[in-house]
Structure 1
């Protein structure tokens, strides 16, 4: 993809912008490619660009002072990074890290262009705050799950999401613990219980679903 390609059309909110604004974004944006497992941004860094993801997935996670990790959300192709948006608006540094779960391609729009458009373009401003609002709602749901939902239900839900492309999931107990914001040992015990029931089979770096129906039923429980 080169600069002349209309990447803007992949973002419904941006596709409604007037032609001069689209041309400004297209002209000033830089297309960047980042390899899998690379850190796209991290705590203490200040964003210089607003990022629009074109291909790949970025995992945004928070790491505490004690090393405890929790996944906050993921950025998929066709989405912007709302943490970057928040830091740009507040002139603040990142408080979480973004890890590329696959090779990533993104359009990077300079801070100066972002500032000018937020101030002068209502459609662009609407796009920014609509995306921000949706992500904040997702974060509140995640907080509710961590605080109030049973871990076995959350783990079942995570296994169902991760197995969308097949019953064998390439993951580890540590990765699942980060996904759900709990200790690895807790995840290990719960996986052992699922295996004892005959629902899954664990292997080195993998979990295989043997009874999707039972796991799906558990994942659908709220309490």
Structure 2
């Protein structure tokens, strides 16, 4: 069977970036990885986040197709987990039916998330996307601690457009722009917009 080793990384660490070879398959037990893609224009979009029990499609694809990474993975919350070396990942898939089923089920769920992302970008109005992101990122106090640039990456748009739409949301009393983020003032109305 494979030689698994313990793995940890602090918040802010770049786990992988475009062109880098994949060192192995990470099974998270704690933390979160944000996976982003940056276009030739410099615009960034958040593809997904990886939490314990979930699979990083970038890593899976790199290991299955023996290719390098096309996106970037940043540690959003301190990570802990187990790393299966790249050379032994396929052997683990072949020999361990439970592991194989867990990985394939997680990959299927991740593809569903990708479909939702494409639907949101292609078929959903921007205000609905922005409202969804604000509601998802808000802490218990209803404050979103994110820059306009970060919100642009979350909504697959430009920073200037996010700023204009947030100003309109503030004018309507839906949010309040703070020096360190955005406070949600009318949660129910944002929920209606996000549908």
Task: Measure the CA separation in 2 of the matches of 1:66 and 1:105.
Answer: 34
1-structure distance, mates of 2:101, 2:77: 29
- 1:55-134 residue pairs with structure 2 within 5 A? 55-134=30-109
Which one has more relative contact order, counting CA pairs under 8 Å at least 6 apart? Answer: 2
Question: What is the CA-CA distance between 1:58 and the residue it aligns to?
Answer: 0.7
Structure 2 counterpart of 1:193: 168
Q: TM-score by structure 1 length?
A: 0.83
Indicate if the aligned counterparts of 1:58 and 1:75 stay in contact, CA closer than 8 A.
yes
1:158 maps to 2:107: no
Of 30, 41, 65, which residue of structure 1 is paired with 2:5? Answer: 30
1 or 2, which has the higher strand percentage? Answer: 2
Q: CA deviation at 1:166?
A: 2.4
Shift of 1:164: 4.7
Would the aligned equivalents of 2:55 and 2:110 in 1 still touch at CA under 8 Å?
A: no
Listed one character per residue, the Cα deviations across residues 139-182 of structure 1 (whole Å, up to 9, x for unaligned) are 01101110110000111111111115221111110000000110
Contact map agreement 2:28 2:80 (CA 8 A) in 1: yes
Aligned residues: 195
Q: TM-score, normalised by structure 2?
A: 0.94
Q: For residues 112 and 64 of structure 2, what CA distance do their matches in structure 1 show?
A: 19
Question: What do the CA deviations read for 1:91-129 (whole angstroms, capped 9, x no partner)?
Answer: 011000101112111211112321212233333322222
Matching of residue 171 in structure 1 with residue 151 in structure 2: no
- Say what the alpha-carbon RMSD is for the aligned residues: 1.4
Conserved? CA contact 2:147–2:181, under 8 Å: yes
Pairing 1:4-15 to 2, within 5 Å after superposition = none
1:183 aligns with 2:158: yes
Q: What is aligned with 1:52?
A: 27
Structure 1 unaligned regions, length at least 5: 1-23
Structure label with greater radius of gyration: 1
Structure 2 unaligned segments of length 5 or more: list them. none
Tell me, yes or no, if structure 1 residue 210 matches structure 2 residue 185.
yes
